[in-house]
Structure 1
């Protein structure tokens, strides 16, 4: 039986990851700021640690004695600079890891994390990778995950109100690296349990290679709108929507930059160059999950 610490509370990856580890008999501490969000996992046997990821002293206490730690950056729509945030939290993580003498770390990063300066929020993750790679004598695995399927659920209201899907990008068929969060959880659990990664390395976690037109077609077919289209929105329009939903100006700018670089295809260049392959939940399988959520709203 091993002890693991999982950041991210009960998020799309952290929750299934914690459940996998608990089901295999491991001790798991889940980190979050709101105890209510951890209630379900605590009932399943997890221990809650309530605190802030920016607090190195809190993290070092929480990490102490762990056989492995799973790290991720929290959603930070209220921050002015997501690249700086990635660097700052990376420094906090490394401080806590050194203090707690942790030897194995899994970090949830992203496709495109090799673009350190022109990919907004994703550059922030890449800069966290840079900080974590300063650790000596610590095995660090960066899971470079694809575009989350769950992000597509944000299109449900758009479909219902305007009969379209869309975002600030349009990606050709077979080139969009997409991923089911459950597939990330499986990869993270495997890494933490078997600890078969050494030094500083990264692993792509991609469920399928799709395209935005295909995504709209497959989802449309599943929800009974066979002619559903994907529409590319102007950057200014998307930024106004983000600001309307409470994004800080800087965070909105970083997301616009991220989507601009995504639309250019540059975020996929390292994945393609390395000959990496997709494996896991297909877009056709996720479309069934999407349809269930669509019908419930």
Structure 2
């Protein structure tokens, strides 16, 4: 039995799709607040536990008989603290992993462990603490150590389409890894299906090449056939924008601290090797994902 949390989210839904195709008859269970967001064909093929996977009663039901779990903490922009949003949300699951003898857990986390900025990186610092909590439950655990997602650019489709601009806070010339969520989901599904691994560790997911914001602007321009430029936003501007959207102080400060740490090299602590690289290039992602969204 494999349990999938956030089965309607970006990564969770892609993992679920892969498992439905490749699990070879292994039982699948999902934890979801609103089962109506799952298609009828999916609901027919999985066991559905309704509720939040931050709730003890829900994870006790969900993890009974489970061999493996995909653990993803949903974003909580209005949490009182980052500790509450990550480790606090995970405490019930950590107890349930132990109580129900779950053997393997795959978590979606972040790069940065072992770097000088790791303890002042906001959301990433909280995610790494969550990894430690899961590891303490006695399960075999693999934390997917991810950089920024290519797919985050989909939040800026309107600006790219209408103004030919995208924004971020990083130095325009600094190169860093980025990964497509479909590659992250593929790595997660592979670990859930082949549970020969033991112990605790991280699995970096680095994409095929480091790129700068200027590199991304050039590639987007080439693929879209129209000029796209990068506009650097200050950290203060980022904080003001997030606060203006009604996000809580803890999340806003956590995002600002994370972006400051990324500009200080938070994502640069792991070398790219055949084992840490993933296949989807930024050009391919722009052609197959961004361009259709811009033209829609």
Report 1:50-89 matches (<5 A): 50-89=50-89
Aligned partners of 2:41, 2:119: CA distance in 1, in Å? 37
Contact 1:82–1:121 (Cα < 8 Å) also in 2:
yes
Pair 16,276 (structure 1): closer, same or farther in 2 beyond 3 Å: closer
Deviation at 1:89, TM superposition (A): 2.5
Secondary structure of the residue aligned to 1:165 is: strand
Distance in 1, Cα, partners of 2:95 & 2:55 = 10
* 2:163 corresponding residue in structure 1: 162
Task: Work out the CA distance in 2 between the residues paired with 1:210 and 1:244.
Answer: 30
Q: What per-residue deviation string (whole Å, max 9, x for no partner) do you get for residues 145-201 of structure 1?
A: 22111101112222244331111113546x311111111111111111111321111
Tell me the residue number matched to 2:270.
Answer: 271
Deviation at 1:52, TM superposition (A): 1.3
Between the two proteins, the alignment pairs up a number of residues equal to 290
Aligned to 1:9: 7
What is the rounded CA distance, in whole Å, between the counterparts of 2:216 and 2:163 in structure 1? 17
The structure-2 alpha-carbon separation of the partners of 1:59 and 1:113, relative to structure 1 and needing over 3 Å to count, comes to: farther
Tell me the residue number matched to 1:282: 281
Alignment of 1:119-268 (within 5 A): 119-136=121-138, 138-170=139-171, 172=173, 175-208=175-208, 209-226=210-227, 228-265=228-265, 267-268=266-267
- Equivalent residue, structure 1, for 2:16: 18
Q: CA-to-partner distance for each residue in 1:124-157, whole Å, 9 max, x for gaps?
A: 1101011112123x21111112211110111222
Contact 2:239 2:252 in 1 (8 A): yes
Q: Counterparts of 1:28 and 1:184 in 2: how far apart (Å)?
A: 19
Q: Is the 8 A contact 1:206 1:280 kept in 2?
A: no
Q: Partner of 2:105 in structure 1?
A: 105
TM-score scaled by length of structure 2: 0.91
The DSSP-based 3-state class of the residue aligned with 2:269 is helix
3-state DSSP of counterpart to 2:119: coil
- Tell me by how many angstroms 1:238 deviates: 1.3
Report which stretch shifted further, 117-126 or 38-47.
38-47
- Of stretches 85-94 and 193-202 in structure 1, the one that deviates more from structure 2 is 85-94
Mapped to 1, the partners of 2:284 and 2:162 lie a distance apart of: 25
SS of equivalent residue, structure 1 residue 196: coil
Partner Cα distance (1:83, 1:276) in 2: 31
**What CA distance in whole angstroms lies between the structure 1 residues aligned with 2:182 and 2:169?**
26
Alpha-carbon distance change, 34 to 171 in structure 1, aligned in 2, over 3 angstroms: farther
* Over 6 Å off, 4+ runs: 273-276
Structure 2 CA distance for aligned equivalents of residues 84 and 90 of structure 1? 9
Cα RMSD between the aligned structures?
2.1
Residue 294 of structure 1 corresponds to 294
